[in-house]
Every structure is written in structure tokens, then in C-alpha cells.
Amino acid sequence: MSLLTTPIDDPRFCPGCHHLRILEELAGAIGELGLRPEEVCLVTDVGCVGLADRYFNTHTFHGLHGRSVTYAEGIKRARPDCTVIVLMGDGACGIGASHVVHAARRGAGLHVIVCNNLRRGSGAGQYRSRTPGGHAPLPLPDRLPEHPFDICQLAIANGASHVGRFSAFDPELRRHLREALRAGGFVLLECWEACNASAAAAAEPLTAEALATLAERLGMPFGLLHTGGPRWRPAPQAAAEQPEPPLGFEPVRPLELSQRAAVWLAGSDGQYVDFAASVLGGLATAGSLFAVQSTDRPIVGGDGYSVATLVLSTQPIRHLGCDDPDVVVILSSSGERRLGSLGNLSPRCLVVADKDLPLTPTRATLAQVDARSLVGELGDAWVALSLSAFGLVRRGLFTGEGLLAAAEANLTGPLRAPVLAALKRAVAQAVGPTASRAPDGASARG
């Protein structure tokens, strides 16, 4: 073998196996390109050809079956100057096909050599996704031929830049490998080869002609199949200036809170419930208070409710749960359903709800608002915030002046203006006359 490899005193491959020939040509190609051992990382995984790493004096990485492309991609991203070569068997191509697809798509900067001996040599000669129909070393259970999986076309279709399929008998194999190592982008070279792991196969070795005939018959011809296409672009690693956050909080002016306060916001996805709670919690935090916000949204299933709970206090809050709210804001029926019965709410709780929502009976004080006109006035993103602030001021937890002064002093960024507008609207409404009614429908002052 070439200068790149350690002396092979105990070759691990069977007599007649083509792996050694491919490895010799690969080592030769690496040497002809003038690459030093420390400039190359050979990544292998489980399978006969995965034993190759021991013969190379380069950096080597031997990982899990079919996952070699993933390790190689990580190594390449961390060491963009390293030439990363992946040696996979045909079995690894089957189990790790999706990694090949996505590494090709990402132009991962890898040189993948698929050593396809058409069967599982290191196991018991089982057939696999690359075994062509009619050539299975063991009979298929149902005797139905399976079409072999074309890793080359898969790579081409997904953005590989240099793809070829060659026979291990090809006298020009080293040149093909050299060209593959020289190419950028995601490079894949498949070598079809012979396996003599079974007695039957060893008794009747595969010839170059038989392999070529098989390739033609399957419509998987040898040759360079594709060049050009996307190239690898290393991810930018340099630090870059970031734009100002849309909403910033500066602790300039304290915010007075009359007592520990708990708010439930119940709406649907798209009603900015979580955002509203985060703005109020951020404002409270900038105002030297402590806040805790938890969320409840069904990512899978469910009916699109979005519920947030917010607790505000002058002291650190340990428990994330929020019991016995002072203010409940209800923006949608699905939000209300998620809260469950409002019957347990105490009379000192203020329920702020859209006037068109039918609510379950409650002893809580009810403040009905025209959320639809508020959407028209403020925009979708600001209604939950405005109504929560309204509830907190109306309930006497913040003073209107205190909340506005803290917001004016503590907010920064492009969203400062709409937040202030929503809070001003809330305060104006909270200190002005608003229709409230008891659950039986009789009007009352909140």
C-alpha cells in the first residue's frame, strides 16, 4: 500500500474481496494530490469497509452504522480546511440514506465513497436495499425481486456536485477517485465490487464483464454521472452586528405594585396572548418587580387555544403555577373552555371579556369590552396586552399613571410606540366609565 497507510500485517478482508483494491487506489489518489495525513480525516462506520480506518495514517473516525455522513459533516463544519472522506458500505447507504440526501442538499463539502459489494458481507450475506433483484445471496423470503436503491441518482437529485458509479475492476479507478477528491461540494462515488464471503460466491467469482452486464441490465450504468451543481459554502462563523431587538426593557423607573397579582389570559392562537404576558412581565421586571409567566398551548391536537398565566410580585416567585387569579382576560371561547369553569373564581377577581362571548356563570366581577373594535383600533397584536393592562389597572394592582410612566421610561425599540399606545388605551378605558355586569346580566359598575 501507499505511504499513507500503516503496513498491513493482518488484512481483515477476505481473499478476493475488492475493498483492498479500492483502499489502495484511494490512498494512491490522496497521495497524488499531495495531501498530508493530518489534512485528511477518513470517516467510516459499521460494515466490512468500515475496517478501513486502521490502514490509514490520517485522522480517522469510526462511528455507528449508516451515520458516518453525520459525523463527517460535524467534523467538516468544525474544521473546514480538512479534507473529509467518508467510506460507506451499501448497507450504510440504506440505513443512512436520509443523511446522504440532506448532506447533498446542504453541499456539505464531503467526499463520500460508497463501496457497494451488493450484499452484507460482514453479516451472514443477507440481502439489503442495494442488492439487485435476482442476485440476492440468500433467497428473498417471498422470492420477489426488489429493485436496488440508486444512491447516485438520489445524490444527484438532491444537489450533489460530482457523482459517479464505477466498477472496482476499472483500471482508471485511481483517476476517478482523484477527480472526486478534487471536486468541491457534495461528492459521491459508488464503486461496485465483488464479495467472496460465501462459499458459492468464492467458487464462482464475479468478473468485470458480469458486473458491467448487471449494471447495464439494471439501468445503473458505470461512468461519471454528474458534475457541476451546488458547491459547498462554509457557514459564516464571523461575528456580526445584530439589529436592535424589537422591544427592549431598561430598568430606569420602578413600577409600583399594590399586592401580589395573578393574571390569566385566555385566547386562541393568533391573539398574541403569550406576547402580551411577556411584555407585561418584561415591563414589571424592568420596574424592579418579579414575574413568572407560564404558557399552555396545544402544539399537537386541541382546538387552537392559547392560555398564559402571569404572576407579579415584589418578592421572588418560586412556584410556576398560578392559582386564584386577580384578573382573567378572555378573548375567545376556546380560551375560556381551556380555563374550565369560571364558577370557582372569587368575587374579587375581575373577568375582562369580549362582550360577544357567552361565558359560564361566575361570581367574579365582569367587565365586558368591545374587543372587535379594539382590534380595529389597535391591531390584532395589541388587544391581549391592552385588555390585560386594563384589568390590572381596573383591579387596582397598578395605577394608570404608574404603569404609563414606567412604560415610557423603560421601553426601547421599534415596538415601543405600539406598546405605549395599547397601554394608554387600556388606562384611558380603565379609569373611564365601562359597562360591567353581573353574571345574571344585570348591569353593574366594575
Partner 1 sequence: MREFITGNQAIVRGAVRAGCNFYAAYPITPAGSICTEIRQAFARLGGVAIQTEDQIAAIGQCIGAAMAGARAMTASSGPGLSLCSDNIGLAQMGEVPLVIVDCQRMGPATASATAAGEGDVLFARHVTSGGYPLPVLAAADVASAYRLTYEAFNIAERLRTPVILLASKDISLSRQTVDLEAIELPPQARRPPAPAGRAVLPYAVQAPADVPGFAPLGGEHPVRFTGLVHDEAGMLTVDRAKIRRKLTHLRDKILARRHELELVESDLDRRAETLIVSYGVADGAAREAVAEIRARGGYVSHLTLHSLWPVPREALRAALTPRVRRVIVPELNVGLYADELRKVISTAEVESIQRFDGGLIHPQTLVEHVLEADREPSRQQSPAEPASAVTGKTAGRRSRTRGGRRCRS
Contact with partner 1 (CB under 8 A): which of 5, 116, 278, 429?
Answer: 278
The answer to whether residue 52 forms part of the interface with partner 1 (CB under 8 A) is no
Q: Where in 336-395 is the site for partner 1 (CB under 8 A)?
A: 339, 344
Contact by Cβ (8 Å): 114, 130: no
The answer to whether residue 55 forms part of the interface with partner 1 (CB under 8 A) is no
Give the number of other CB atoms < 10 A from CB of residue 287: 25
Contact by Cβ (8 Å): 341, 364: no
The minimum distance between CB 59 and partner 1, in angstroms, equals 5
Contact with partner 1 (CB under 8 A): which of 322, 378, 415, 435?
Answer: 322
Q: Which of 69, 396, 174, 418 lies closest to 272 in space, CA to CA?
A: 418
Contact with partner 1 (CB under 8 A): which of 1, 32, 61, 381?
Answer: 61
The answer to whether residue 9 forms part of the interface with partner 1 (CB under 8 A) is no
Give the DSSP letter string of 226-242. Answer: EE-S----PPP-S----
Q: Which three cell numbers stand for residue 325?
A: 387569579
Give the integer Cα–Cα distance in Å for 64 and 67. Answer: 6
Q: Which three cell numbers stand for residue 153?
A: 441518482
Q: Where in 281-320 is the site for partner 1 (CB under 8 A)?
A: 281-282, 284-286, 288-300, 307, 309, 316-320
- Strands (E) in 93-143, as ranges, are 111-116
The answer to whether residue 16 forms part of the interface with partner 1 (CB under 8 A) is no
Span from 55-63, 154-162, 205-213, 405-413 in contact with partner 1 (CB under 8 A): 55-63
Span from 60-68, 150-158, 359-367, 383-391 in contact with partner 1 (CB under 8 A): 60-68
Contact by Cβ (8 Å): 191, 46: no
- Of the CA atoms within 13 Å of residue 187, those in its CB half-sphere come to 22
- Strands (E) in 159-247, as ranges, are 162-167, 187-192, 223-227
The minimum distance between CB 246 and partner 1, in angstroms, equals 12
- Build a one-symbol-per-residue string for 208-247: x at contacts with partner 1 by CB under 8 A, - elsewhere: ---------------------------x-xxxxxx-----
Q: Which three cell numbers stand for residue 160?
A: 450533489
The minimum distance between CB 383 and partner 1, in angstroms, equals 20
Contact with partner 1 (CB under 8 A): which of 64, 208, 428, 444?
Answer: 64
Q: Where in 97-116 is the site for partner 1 (CB under 8 A)?
A: 98-99, 101-102
Contact with partner 1 (CB under 8 A): which of 9, 142, 204, 323?
Answer: 323
The minimum distance between CB 132 and partner 1, in angstroms, equals 27
Q: What angle do CA 66, 68, 74 make, to 5 degrees?
A: 140
